[in-house]
Structure 1
Amino acid sequence: MSDIRHFGYVRVSSNDQNEARQLEAMKDLGILDRDIHIDKPSGKYTNRTGYQSMKSSLREGDILFIKELNQLGRNAQHIKREWQEITQDIGAHVVILDMPILDTRQYQNGLEKLISNIVLELLSYMAEREKEKIHGKQAEGIATALNSGVVFGRPKQSITDDFKQAYAEWKQGNITAVEAMRMVDMKPNTFYRRVKEYEVK
């Protein structure tokens, strides 16, 4: 197919990253400037105007070059969906420069779909295991902190002089319970817990 176009997609995820290395890799492949699409950091991951523009230009047989697989999507599921849309729905090739095994041009006769699915399932599994490992470390950290006496959550609202004054006014019938709660900035359940504690003392 003589009119096959080569596209390059470049994305940096933070302001301190530089796209120069990725651009150089694309130009070394002979990709024209007009066919290199770039996305820089924004408030939302979905604001990938460069990616959307590139994707809408892709046609069957075209080749998309990307430096790293994670630039294709925000997580494993998103990456798999984008990969399938490009390789199966559009019929274009994807080449991940940092992972030579993810080059659909080298697989023919239906093997490209099989190989891609195997590799992407493996990557998805690895991403899930990594997430579980992170959660496991977080749980260990919380347990260690609790054993060391660290208290999580909002600090307990103590029985202060203001509370005692509001309590006395309320008990004497000078103010309502709602007004007493407002004076000490407490929610009903917290207020009545402190009342019970105070009365026990």
Structure 2
Amino acid sequence: MEYGYIRVSTLDQNEDRQRRAMADRGIPRERMFLDKQSGKDFHRPAYARLLRRLRPGDLVYVLSIDRLGRNYEEVQNQWRVLTKEKAVDICVIDMPLLDTRQGKDLMGTFIADLVLQILSFVAQNERENIKKRQAEGIAAAKARGVKFGRPPAVLPENFHAVHKKWRDKKITLRQAAEACGMPEGTFYAKARKFEEGEK
């Protein structure tokens, strides 16, 4: 039986290119397993379902080695799980040297293992470079004054009047919070912040 494994890193990334590559090899949609999450490890639901389905002699297609994963050691381990423990073949479509159906002799196995080590190292290195570039981009944006996170909530128009009544003990904390349409804890925190700003 032939299967396709597809992975994209985020929910909004498009997997169409990988699906087309699988369809071109005659893999029906019901035998394509898709995960939408990071390749840093193999704790992925679709991948786990694929592993349970595999039987000796099956074939798993992946478009490129980084679609399998981006962690050097984990990719090596999973390659061994698939080829040795599960006794299935793997074909990396973008890298014909990584097709375990070819070169079953010692030299073929050696070349495939060598290529796998190089490519999985490159995949992890790229993941680390992406993280580094993100951190550098965030630092540069912060240096330019870009604010991250949720913008602070705007105080309701009646906040100042309600706050004064509460401070003058004309209304309770609960009444003040209700008048401003917010939880008591939020009103109290906003009041403290407002008072600190007045000092």
Q: TM-score band, normalised by the shorter chain?
A: 0.5 to 0.7
Q: What residue identity is the alignment partner of 1:9?
A: Y
In structure 2, what is the equivalent of residue 135 of structure 1? 131
1:173 Cα deviation (Å)? 0.8
Q: Which moved more, 1:180-189 or 1:44-53?
A: 44-53
Q: What residue identity is the alignment partner of 2:87?
A: G
Which residue of 3, 24, 44 maps to 1:9?
Answer: 3
- CA deviation vs aligned residue, 1:44-75 (integer Å, no higher than 9, x gap): 862469845751xx32xx36252524487354
1:158 Cα deviation (Å)? 6.2
Is the 1:67–1:97 Cα contact (8 Å) retained in structure 2? Answer: yes
Which residue of 74, 81, 85 maps to 1:85?
Answer: 81
Please report the TM-score for the alignment, with normalisation by the length of structure 2: 0.63
In structure 2, what is the equivalent of residue 108 of structure 1? 105
In structure 2, what is the equivalent of residue 68 of structure 1? 63
Rounded to whole Å, the distance in 1 between the matches of 2:117 and 2:188 is 51
Gaps of 5+ in 1: 1-6, 28-32
Alignment of 1:16-165 (within 5 A): 16-17=16-17, 19=19, 21-24=21-24, 26=25, 38-39=31-32, 46-47=45-46, 51=50, 55=54, 58-59=55-56, 62=57, 64=59, 66=61, 68-70=63-65, 73=68, 75-76=70-71, 79-104=75-100, 105-109=102-106, 112=109, 117-157=113-153, 161-165=157-161
Tell me: CA distance 1:151–1:22, structure 2 relative to 1, closer, same or farther (3 Å). Answer: closer
Rounded to whole Å, the distance in 1 between the matches of 2:114 and 2:36 is 33
User: Share of identical aligned residues, percent?
Assistant: 21
Is the 1:96–1:103 Cα contact (8 Å) retained in structure 2? Answer: yes
Tell me: CA distance 1:81–1:72, structure 2 relative to 1, closer, same or farther (3 Å). Answer: farther
In structure 1, what is the equivalent of residue 40 of structure 2? none
- CA deviation vs aligned residue, 1:65-94 (integer Å, no higher than 9, x gap): 525244873544664444222211133333
Q: What residue identity is the alignment partner of 2:139?
A: A
Rounded to whole Å, the distance in 1 between the matches of 2:16 and 2:91 is 26
RMSD: 4.1
Which structure has the larger Rg?
A: 1
Tell me: CA distance 1:157–1:21, structure 2 relative to 1, closer, same or farther (3 Å). Answer: closer
Q: What residue identity is the alignment partner of 1:194?
A: F
Secondary structure in structure 2 of the residue aligned to 1:106: coil
Secondary structure in structure 1 of the residue aligned to 2:158: helix
Gaps of 5+ in 2: 8-13, 38-43
